[in-house]
Structure 1
């Protein structure tokens, strides 16, 4: 792969950062033209870096997963394994609440395509990064044995889907996550 010029690397990073913000604000239907305008580049520059909407959304997805993986690694040695896991779950919830429609679009656009493997690779990477955090919380008695990363991701995905049409999806998702963690029965 040829080495990119410095301005091309800056444009790529700026387009990706703006795309993340636009997807968080407007879901997977974020306007590519608005992304280009906000990034201060032309539509042709966006297309040079990301030849399709799917390619741009995949890059956004990959970047967000990388950030979640890094956060899990940062929290792996925290003094309080329960607090660390809950902090990571809050980050996952914030991501899921802001990624409205992203998973559905990527699944539809990559169905039967070799690019669908990138979603599986990201999922495996996420699981590998979070598993030590979860195992430590289980070992410390902060999480019930048998809870898996897939369980936690499915729980957060369900919360995100249930709140995606709410007036304030992020706040409602956080409220439901807190309710889930606390349980529905009052403490005795």
Structure 2
């Protein structure tokens, strides 16, 4: 039996909750008050809990799509590389593009870098599966760039994840550092490149 399509009003409430959560998490971080999310969405707290029984469920819905998009980005680059298409077949360019998308996404929500690191140690987290898929896809891009001789061989996928996350964390700390994100990205990338 196929899953039921949600009623139009229920879908509207869910969309409003996700929009409100996106705003509040950007402003206050991943620990933003669920009561404030419901208030901003102009729904009752019970409605929030019907859609998202826990904070992790809400974050999974909000951030899981971002992680899935990053995984799909990496997988498209892998397919292009294997097919030999000229636009994205360069493993170094594919990894740089993916890393830039990752770091911009990590900086979009306050406290997200810390939440991403927490998923490494919490397989029970609702975010763990989508974050793991994203990290593994990025790891395959790293391996392809290493095999092409573009990235130092001792760099591990965990190193890559930690450095990309650190760039997102920097933006949380100070607007003046956030303004230097592109410069800092280039410094990190220079450190990853094979000499």
Global fold match (TM > 0.5): yes
Question: Quick check: 21-30 or 134-143, which moved more?
Answer: 21-30
Supply the RMSD in Å over aligned alpha carbons: 3.3
Match of 1:95 in 2: 105
**In structure 2, C-alpha distance between the alignment counterparts of 1:47 and 1:61, rounded to whole Å:** 18
Match of 1:142 in 2: 150
**In structure 2, C-alpha distance between the alignment counterparts of 1:21 and 1:11, rounded to whole Å:** 15
Match of 2:136 in 1: 128
**In structure 1, C-alpha distance between the alignment counterparts of 2:90 and 2:189, rounded to whole Å:** 16
- Alignment partner of 2:174: what SS? coil
TM-score relative to the length of structure 1: 0.74
Q: Does the aligned pair in 1 maintain the 2:22–2:62 contact within 8 Å?
A: yes
Deviations 1:111-162 (A, max 9, x none): x98733x444234312332233222212222212232221111111223334
**Unmatched tracts of structure 2, length 5 or more:** 81-87
Deviations 1:45-97 (A, max 9, x none): 22210123333123323222112112212333213221221111011111222
| 1:25 correspondence with 2:27 | yes
Match of 2:96 in 1: 86
| 1:171 correspondence with 2:173 | no
- Alignment partner of 2:175: what SS? coil
**In structure 1, C-alpha distance between the alignment counterparts of 2:116 and 2:95, rounded to whole Å:** 27
The alpha-carbon distance between structure 1 residues 81 and 39, as it changes in their structure 2 partners (threshold 3 A), is farther
Q: Does the aligned pair in 1 maintain the 2:74–2:137 contact within 8 Å?
A: yes
**In structure 2, C-alpha distance between the alignment counterparts of 1:137 and 1:107, rounded to whole Å:** 24
**In structure 2, C-alpha distance between the alignment counterparts of 1:7 and 1:129, rounded to whole Å:** 36
| Residues paired across the two proteins, number | 181
| 1:115 correspondence with 2:121 | no
Q: Does the aligned pair in 2 maintain the 1:97–1:169 contact within 8 Å?
A: no
Question: Quick check: 160-169 or 83-92, which moved more?
Answer: 160-169
Q: Does the aligned pair in 1 maintain the 2:113–2:166 contact within 8 Å?
A: no
Match of 1:16 in 2: 18
**In structure 2, C-alpha distance between the alignment counterparts of 1:68 and 1:170, rounded to whole Å:** 21
